[in-house]
Amino acid sequence: LTTTLVDVKVAAPGEAWALGDNQYYHAAPLVILHYIGGAWAVVSTPIVPSSIGLYQMSCGSATDCWLVGNSTNAYHYSSGTWSAVVLPITSTYISPISIYMLNPNEGWIGLNNNYTVDNTTSVLHYSGGAWHVAGLSAASDPHRAKARPNGGCGPYVRVNAILSFASNDYYSIGDDGCMPLTQTPFFNHNGAQIGSPDNFVNGLSGVAANDIWVVGAGGSIYHWNGTNLTTTVSAPAYSNHIQMLSASDGWLGGGPYSVYPDTIYHYDGNIWSATPITEVRAFAFDSANDGWAVQESYYQQASFLYYNGSSFTATQSFSATRINAMQMLTSTSGWAAGDYFNSSDYQPLVAHYNGTAWLTTTIGGSITGTLSALSFTSPNDGWAVGNDDDYNFGHIATLVYQYSGGAWVQATLPVTDLEASAVYATQPNDVWVSGMSNNNYSSGQTEMLHWNGSSWTVTLLPVQKVTSIQMFSASEGWASSYGGPYLHYSGGSWQVVANPVGYSGYMLDLSFDSPTDGWSVGITGPQHYYPECLDYYTDVPAGNFAAQAVFYLSCHGIISGTGNHKFSPNANATRIQFAKMISLARGWPLVTPTTATFSDVPPTNPLYIFVETAYANGAISGATPATCTARGLASPCFLPNDNISRAQTAVITVRAFGWPINTTGGPHFTDVPTSNFAYGAIETCYHHGVVNGIGGGLFAPNTNVTRAQLAVILYKGLAQL
């Protein structure tokens, strides 16, 4: 199928339906699939226009189903026939988006109701053989005619999912359709709100009225127990700033790119939990029991709040001030940066905490703009960066300042018109500044500038915008980007690291406890870079058939890359590589005899220990004496650098996992007769589901195995332990 499948529903044991089409461009054909008799078949549906986008389907019984899409009709399957049913919708701005059928005689449809002023509701009810208006009216629905701070979100409600357990009783989830930073999600019972999720929600399922689960953005999982809606993962999808104090203690929320500041969340090593403090734009902690946050009132007043380890207390407020970034150096010394509105424009502003109070001052003289990031190496040496988007004059006033000798001095850069967005200093002569200049807007490249104490060097990076930098030393560091990828500084250069959620993973800030343990936040929720993941591979993207296996094995130290963060998934694997993988995968105690078992794997071989371990555990046995002699080697030999074949892999896998030989129903492959030395092992691996043929009833036993294929075989084998 050349289409996008959007929903699947089981109608009865052995029977199911699936919907598909390209909802956005309709470039792929609309399709309805029916699973019955053990196979999927395309159902001819001339009654459903090919131009509509399909959303959801629900079956009241095996012979009675409904589907909805961006149409004023619903489509009904009954007695083997599809028909169109006109819905009581009076506006072209309304379309059904979700559906749930309790039984063939009762069900509900949730609407995507955009900017209507009539009395149409957000939910339709099916009873008495027809669809009727249900729930609250457009005029009275609290989720619709609600003024939003961005001024662009009018009366709107979107019911993303709906569910029922009893007649005349339903639950629904959705939001007011505003931009993600300002959305108001809801969890309703019969049209009345009973829960307020923190994030966008779009999945609803349950087994009873007191056992319902809701899922949504940022990995949020909510549970309704009949009385309360609680969350097991509460970190918001859209976060703009993060600071990890340790692997089990951190904070996120707000930040320099936050149009609408939000709640600050605390991480306890297990989940992110919301605090009572809202409207947070920036924060910084010196330790787990000492820190500061800034609340913002109407974007024109910054209030500094002190954290003592258990609660926040307001201390000072500054009118006409915004704070975008903070850093606490000690409990008695810290800095903040942002801007001050002087009745006509914004001026760069810094604030210094001297152990008693925060003191603010504007810098840059008559220059206008805002500071968005700062980095200090000591109380008396640091940097602050930002920009003035002065597009009316065809340029950007670059704001890069150094604090030294008790004064702020504007730095002279080799790049003009730089919209500076990130800065990090490890010491006064090791400073990184990133931004995008007018010269590179069209190419989508970002400048990374490095200051060595006397001069700047400039490197162009293939990302849209660097949003945060953190360096651990002069030779190791990380950066996040608004375009999606991460950047890792190692070996004297910046290397692009793919974001696991793809290009849409716009990341706005990062904070690492060590080079291999950190978090990042952005518009797709917090992402954790795990310490046990020993490497990352730019040539094994998330969609690769072996990605899950490679990630798991790498995170458990079973496999490693081939250098420069490459795994080389399509390269042939050697016999000695598989000996290492299988030994580590099985977790056998490593064996190091003083005398080598194989003549061609001496103790000086870097992988000697793994060959001996695999041999001691019966996984490998070496080549035949005749083969050793033909190679000019003393027997026994192992031929460590030979590519490993599919047949050899099957034999070693069965031995390593200790699986009894199973040839039931064999031979399953015409090119592996019962006389083949690997017949029993191949059949056994086939029954365990770790190998398949290549098509046409063939196995290709003598074909080489790639590194990616080996990873998948090991991963599937380990899953059965």
pLDDT digits (tens, 9 = 90+) for 330-343: 999 999 999 998 88
Q: Tell me, what's the pLDDT at 119?
A: 37
Q: Tell me, what's the pLDDT at 81?
A: 87
Q: Answer yes or no: is pLDDT of 181 > 60.
A: no
117: phi then psi, degrees, rounded to nearest 5: -120, 5
User: Is the distance from CB of 13 to CB of 35 less than 8 angstroms?
Assistant: no
DSSP secondary structure string for all residues of 327-344: EEEETTEEEEEEEEE-SS
Higher per-residue pLDDT: 141 or 324: 324
Q: Which residues share a beta bridge with 510?
A: 520
User: Is the distance from CB of 474 to CB of 506 less than 8 angstroms?
Assistant: no
Q: Answer yes or no: is pLDDT of 260 > 80.
A: no
Q: What three-state secondary structure class fits 104?
A: coil
Q: Tell me, what's the pLDDT at 4?
A: 74
- 8-state DSSP, 129: T
Using CA atoms, how far apart are residues 10 and 129, in angstroms rounded to an integer?
A: 23
Q: Mean pLDDT throughout 307-326?
A: 92
Contact residues for 273 (Cβ-Cβ < 8 A; gap 6+): 234, 265, 266, 267
Percent of the chain with pLDDT over 70: 85
Q: Mean pLDDT throughout 265-275?
A: 78
Q: Tell me, what's the pLDDT at 565?
A: 78
Q: Tell me, what's the pLDDT at 503?
A: 56
The C-alpha R_g of the chain, in whole angstroms, comes to: 31
Higher per-residue pLDDT: 112 or 409: 409
Using CA atoms, how far apart are residues 523 and 442, in angstroms rounded to an integer?
A: 24
CA atoms within 13 A of residue 38's CA, in its CB half-sphere: 0
Position 153 confidence tier, pLDDT thresholds 50, 70, 90: very low
Tokens coding 276? 């009572």
Express each pLDDT in 216-236 by its tens digit: 765 677 888 898 888 765 556
Using CA atoms, how far apart are residues 559 and 578, in angstroms rounded to an integer?
A: 10
Q: Tell me, what's the pLDDT at 120?
A: 46
Q: Answer yes or no: is pLDDT of 52 > 70.
A: yes
Higher per-residue pLDDT: 548 or 651: 651
Tokens coding 17? 């339906």
Angle in degrees, 0-180, between the axes of helices 707-718 and 646-657, rounded to the nearest 10:
20
Q: Tell me, what's the pLDDT at 98?
A: 93
Q: Mean pLDDT throughout 564-569?
A: 86
Express each pLDDT in 654-680 by its tens digit: 999 999 999 999 999 999 999 999 999
Q: Answer yes or no: is pLDDT of 401 > 90.
A: yes
Q: Mean pLDDT throughout 474-488?
A: 86
Q: Tell me, what's the pLDDT at 237?
A: 59
In this structure, of 114-123, 404-413, 496-505, the range with the lowest mean pLDDT score is: 114-123
In this structure, of 558-567, 622-631, 642-651, the range with the lowest mean pLDDT score is: 558-567
Using CA atoms, how far apart are residues 280 and 274, in angstroms rounded to an integer?
A: 12
Using CA atoms, how far apart are residues 434 and 432, in angstroms rounded to an integer?
A: 7
Q: Answer yes or no: is pLDDT of 48 > 60.
A: yes
User: Is the distance from CB of 679 to CB of 663 less than 8 angstroms?
Assistant: yes
CA-closest candidate to residue 671, choices 715, 703, 624: 703
Express each pLDDT in 82-107 by its tens digit: 899 999 887 777 889 999 999 999 99
Q: Mean pLDDT throughout 175-183?
A: 56
User: Is the distance from CB of 283 to CB of 293 less than 8 angstroms?
Assistant: yes
Express each pLDDT in 503-548 by its tens digit: 556 788 999 887 767 888 887 767 877 645 556 688 887 678 888 8
Q: Tell me, what's the pLDDT at 117?
A: 42
Calculated CA dihedral for residues 191, 193, 195, 197, nearest 10 degrees: 80
Using CA atoms, how far apart are residues 309 and 311, in angstroms rounded to an integer?
A: 6
